[in-house]
């Protein structure tokens, strides 16, 4: 089983993703071949979107909080 296949089983779950120097918390909405997508709370001074697209090669750790 590939890593992305395993992650697809957790779509809709609250997920914490660690990348270099940051932790992104949100709901896993999509898993592609090269990226994952999380629905995140809006950032006050950030772009007007609630989507975080994270390249798989940047991910250091994934924690599924609830499934």
The percentage of residues in the chain with a pLDDT greater than 90, rounded to a whole number, is 69
Task: Name the H helices within the chain.
Answer: 3-8
* Predicted TM-score of the model (pTM): 0.85
The CA distance from 56 to 30, in Å, is 12
Average pLDDT on 21-39 reads 94
DSSP track, the chain: --HHHHHHTTTTSEEEEEETTEEEEEEEEEE-SSEEEEE-PPPTTS-S--EEEEEGGGEEEEEE---
Tokens 């975080």 -> residue: 52
The fold adopted by the segment(s) 3-64 is SH3 type barrels. (2.30.30)
Q: Over 80: is that where the pLDDT of 66 sits?
A: no
């Amino acid at each position: 089983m590939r890593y992305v296949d395993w992650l697809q089983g957790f779509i809709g779950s609250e997920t914490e993703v660690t990348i270099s120097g940051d932790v992104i918390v949100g709901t896993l909405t999509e898993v592609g071949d090269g990226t994952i997508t999380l629905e995140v709370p809006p950032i006050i001074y950030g772009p007007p979107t609630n989507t975080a697209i994270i390249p798989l090669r940047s991910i250091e750790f994934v924690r599924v909080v609830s499934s």
